[in-house]
Structure 1
């Protein structure tokens, strides 16, 4: 492979928010193609949960691993605020700017550290709730995003021969709630059928998180053809939201769904005790 000489160098920062314990390799993203320049970072768990009252502190462990066989990582820890958008996307903000922020309550045992190839380090993450801070229904939980960022980008080249320097940044979500405040709940507000566009037809589920703690759950959809009696169960989808979130969740219908009238049963299960909310919609599906 031929690479351009004296080509301009730029830095590619790749940012991930862990949805599960993952090892992240850069060449699988952005279609970067470079020789001996892969770098990665494993951070877990993907979420840290704290339950503490005013004036109390609590500690959790975070494990960081350098999976590289030949490259030492120089890393730093920083914090930002985050919230969900109406569609469930992560929206970042400067630390301390959102009303539900706990970024300024958090400290780590080593804000800066190095990891040799194959080395793993455990960090202690401590959350200290201010003494004057009390529970309110308006802001029942608090969140932050902890970032582990590579400070020494690795040099390489992309498939066009341009010089690049690649660094990774992995995000871990931090949640805080007060003791004895653990009532997850939601209300389905509306179900709507959206006719086929350039990709597929959809069901739109609108719901609001009405409890006082974060929600993690699954959405199951079953379609009943009113003419033939055939049933179709769609693949389960996960959802995550915070108290007072108003959400629109889109469920793609099968592209080969036969035309006809359908009864859609949407089941949302959530919480440690698998609470269930059910919504139903009758719609007429037409194929183009």
Structure 2
């Protein structure tokens, strides 16, 4: 029995699947700053990293957004109010092409902002897909014959030249006694995408010991609400604790911080 397996990857500039097929797409994100009526051009390098198979590739567009957990949600092109998919132009010869093993191709991705923006949204986004159209034969880890096809996505970000205002605000921090998880709620109240790192720290107020917790990388868009759960280490002992949350989102002058005191039983 043959199984068709389609593997989708976004955010990662390199994708190699099984032993016989793979593509490299770089960079994984394109950023444009263009006022109404202006255009911007960026370039994407697509490479066939297979050693034995020619890849027939098609370029298409879609929409995306983050959910409250920070996961990616995919939609058809021009289906979201924040979409800029209809502003994107790709040369005809770059919409469908073939790459021999080890061959590269550079494609131009242009965005032309409408003369009059009809909304007040500070940023717009789209997804550029590079999809393999000729699945190849391969074998999975159990030895079954399968068909493998790959697809890579490049996120497109657009904003005008308006002054940037990065602003994240923590709205709630609590400890859920049932799940034994720290719950963090914050919102992007700026006019620009804000990516950064959350540094949780835990301090046992009874014995004075610090408990190490891994940092968390996050991404957000203007207006996004974010809900994050922070798991305590397995060896956390019962006691009284103070949790400190630091959010570093690339603003040299601002770090968002919150503290929470709770009892762990």
Q: Tell me how far 1:265 sits from its aligned partner.
A: 0.5
- Per the alignment, residue 116 of structure 1 pairs with 100
User: Structure 2 stretches of 5 or more lacking a match?
Assistant: none
Alignment equivalent of 1:129, drawn from 103, 106, 113: 113
Aligned-pair RMSD on alpha carbons?
Answer: 1.7
Counterparts of 1:35-184 in structure 2, within 5 Å, are 38-109=20-91, 110-133=94-117, 136=120, 139-159=121-141, 162-184=144-166
- Partner of 1:275, secondary structure, is coil
CA contact (8 A) 1:216 1:240 kept: yes
Give the number of equivalent residue pairs: 263
Q: Tell me how far 1:135 sits from its aligned partner.
A: 6.3
Aligned CA distance change for structure 1 residues 91 and 231 (closer, same or farther; 3 Å): same
Q: Tell me how far 1:196 sits from its aligned partner.
A: 6.3
- Partner of 2:63, secondary structure, is strand
Q: Tell me how far 1:171 sits from its aligned partner.
A: 0.7
In 2: Cα distance, 1:181 partner to 1:239 partner: 23
- Partner of 2:3, secondary structure, is strand
TM-score (norm 2): 0.94
- Per the alignment, residue 17 of structure 2 pairs with 26
In 2: Cα distance, 1:77 partner to 1:283 partner: 51
User: Structure 1 stretches of 5 or more lacking a match?
Assistant: 1-6, 28-36
More strand by share: 2
TM-score (norm 1): 0.87
Q: Tell me how far 1:161 sits from its aligned partner.
A: 5.5
CA contact (8 A) 2:59 2:131 kept: yes
Q: Tell me how far 1:236 sits from its aligned partner.
A: 1.5
